């Protein structure tokens, strides 16, 4: 069941892309901060978030 709505999805994908760019621009071990982007991108594209599900949150609009 999808629990990530449109605005939440957009924010996750944009933040994921921004954090992924850190992997290419930061030197040394700071590049590892770019790996934080993968969970954001995965949850944004799949529209499912395990943390939202555990907390009982749903940002999808009810139809």
Cα separations in angstroms, 23 against 6, 35, 38, 52: 26, 7, 11, 27
Domain map (residue ranges) of the chain: 6-55
Higher pLDDT, 63 or 50: 50
Distance CA 48, CA 38 (A): 14
pLDDT digits (tens, 9 = 90+) for 1-60: 888 988 999 999 999 999 999 888 888 888 888 888 999 999 999 999 988 888 988 888
pLDDT at 63 over 60: no
């Amino acid at each position: 069941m999808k629990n990530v709505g449109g605005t939440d999805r957009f924010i996750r994908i944009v933040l994921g892309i921004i954090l992924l760019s850190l992997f290419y621009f930061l030197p040394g071990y700071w590049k590892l901060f770019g790996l934080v982007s993968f969970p954001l991108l995965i949850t944004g594209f799949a529209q499912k978030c395990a943390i939202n599900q555990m907390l009982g949150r749903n940002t999808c609009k009810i139809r």
